Structure 1
């Protein structure tokens, strides 16, 4: 399969683990990496943050550690939410996404794996609606669905990745035709590893040491602000690899993880699902095979 990886690599380090895992997976032909922005408050100064630039720089640093410098195209995404006029837009990322998505010389499936907001994908779909039928979106984001798990204690009203760019998520769900495999909050919160496991990975070689070093720096910064992460860390973006590279060999599909089908809903401004019986079918993953995911990840990253 072909894979486009889109993530806020300047934020939590879980995206870096997911990207390294994908790059070490032979069945995932990573064709493009998009470094996307984090939250962009409407009152922020136009020149603050440069989050997408930092994300792209972090990716290039990882590629250097992996001996892959210059081997995979890396682009920076927008520096603000969809349609914001005082920030750099998605033009560079859109051109690269369309170049891969609209190819006519290959017939391997194309997955757009997104672990943060959907700004750059939405911009590409607006620029070329036909793109929707040429790829599948696998998205880490969105709140719990009605009838399923309750939100975790203390959760804010909007799920984190949705709130990065609500308008972009609303467009992708409600105004495009792209097939969606969603990993909502109750599913991606299952992706826990222990710090004891991460310490062992750090001893396995330069790549493990670099990845875990990023986690430890984040952990230290949070500790300075009075937050103790305890014994576990959520590698919440890892299902992006499980659902693509780790499919079954016969009748390929993410056979070891569980989902249910729903008509793709519209999203409210707060991320609430607005039922739409005529919506296209959407997979909502309820349970991710963590054993397969992390056994494979530690095996591939430990050298």
Structure 2
């Protein structure tokens, strides 16, 4: 019997905003068994890391640790979590274990899709290792604005050089800009009353969403921006979006439907 034909790489700065962890849990809950998933971690902007009280030199490692905690809580043992670059940029230090794993693993599968909710540091480094990756893999990236792919938004500004390299590579790309992902909001009361009550995993996610850093004031809603990646992962349900490569997503993500889908899946993993 043939092995899985598709590789799904989930790349994110899991040491930063916990919306990446919510998206990762949702993607894993929806994934069918014929897809192999690999998780890679990218760095935070050093200034943001310091403001949040984190070591700016180890944010990718911190992200790998917390993503591993989520997988353990979910009882998932067959998904690798690989540490990426600890700093943004396009130098030799960015050629990390994550970049090498993306190149090596993509060669084993008929299709590779990368869902990236952070800076494109690891993807750019993988392309420098193997420029042919642009023909083997396709990318869905949360980054940029409607007007500009390479600046004006956190993920693009954190590593503009990597964003430019990936854009120039010709890798098939669907981009979800600031104007779209900031519409992915949920009421704080829903986090407290629906997510926390759904399951142990939901409770763990809710705790992280509500534990905001000192410089953030918790209001009535939270933005789950990275959850816009979920519809592009392989999985069932009416919330899926077919990837049309070379497009910028606008007014297509069903935020309410995604939230209902997340809660429904979490209730099943008590």
TM-score by length of 1: 0.76
Query: Hey, what's the Cα distance between the residues in 2 that align with 1:292 and 1:216?
Result: 22
Q: CA RMSD in A?
A: 2.4
Q: Is 1:190 matched with 2:183?
A: yes
SS, match of residue 226 in structure 2: coil
Match of 1:205 in 2: 199
SS at match of 1:34: strand
Q: CA offsets, 1:102-149, max 9 Å, x none?
A: 22xx43x32100000000100101111111111110000101228xxx
Write the distance in 1 (CA, Å) between the matches of 2:132 and 2:138: 13
Q: What does the per-residue CA deviation read over 1:213-250, in whole Å, with 9 as the maximum and x for residues that have no partner?
A: 001112xx34xx4x43321111101111112235779x
**Counterparts of 2:241 and 2:185 in 1: how far apart (Å)?**
19
Would the alpha carbon gap of residues 140 and 247 (structure 1) be closer, same or farther in structure 2, given more than 3 Å must change?
farther
Tell me, what secondary structure is at the counterpart of 2:248?
strand
Distance in 2 (CA, whole Å) between partners of 1:245 and 1:297 is 15
Secondary structure of 2:75's counterpart equals coil
Are 2:264 and 1:299 equivalent residues in the alignment?
A: yes
Separation (CA, whole Å) in 2 of partners of 1:233 and 1:30: 31
Q: 2:89 aligns with which of 64, 82, 88?
A: 82
Q: Which ranges in structure 1 are unaligned for 5 or more consecutive residues?
A: 147-156, 262-280
Matched, 1:232 2:221: yes
Number of the residue aligned with 2:247: 283
> Is 1:54 equivalent to 2:56 in the alignment?
no
Q: Is the 8 A contact 2:232 2:241 kept in 1?
A: yes
Displacement of 1:291 in angstroms is: 3.3
Q: Distance in 2 between matches of 1:40 and 1:173?
A: 24
Q: Which has the larger radius of gyration?
A: 1
Question: Given that residues 113 and 137 in structure 1 are in contact (C-alpha distance below 8 angstroms), is that contact kept between their aligned partners in structure 2?
Answer: yes
Tell me the CA shift for residue 48 of structure 1. Answer: 4.5
Distance 1:210 1:30 in 2: 25
Equivalent residue for 2:79, pick from 57, 65, 72: 72
Q: 1:3 offset after TM fit, Å?
A: 1.0
Contact kept, 8 Å, 1:22 with 1:30, in 2: the verdict is no
1:117 aligns with: 119
Identify, as 1 or 2, the structure richer in helix: 2
Q: Does 1:100 align with 2:84?
A: no
Residue 134 of structure 1 corresponds to 136
Paired with 1:84 and 1:58, the residues of 2 have a C-alpha distance of: 26
Shift, 1:91, TM fit? 2.7
**Ranges in structure 2 where 5+ consecutive residues have no aligned partner:** 1-5
Residue equivalent to 2:15: 10
Instruction: Describe the SS at the equivalent of 1:282.
Output: coil
SS of the residue 1:110 aligns to: strand
Q: Closer, same or farther in 2 for the Cα pair 1:17/1:48, shift >3 Å?
A: closer
**Structure 2 length normalisation: TM-score?**
0.85
Q: Indicate how the Cα distance of structure 1 residues 179 and 145 shifts in structure 2: closer, same or farther if over 3 A, else same.
A: same
Contact 2:31 2:233 in 1 (8 A): no
| Residue number in structure 1 paired with 2:3 | none
The count of corresponding residues between Structure 1 and Structure 2 is: 251
Provide the C-alpha distance between the structure 1 equivalents of 2:38 and 2:232, rounded to a whole number of angstroms.
18
Conserved 8 A contact 2:142-2:177: yes
Aligned to 1:241: 230
- C-alpha distance in structure 2 between counterparts of 1:294 and 1:127, whole Å: 38
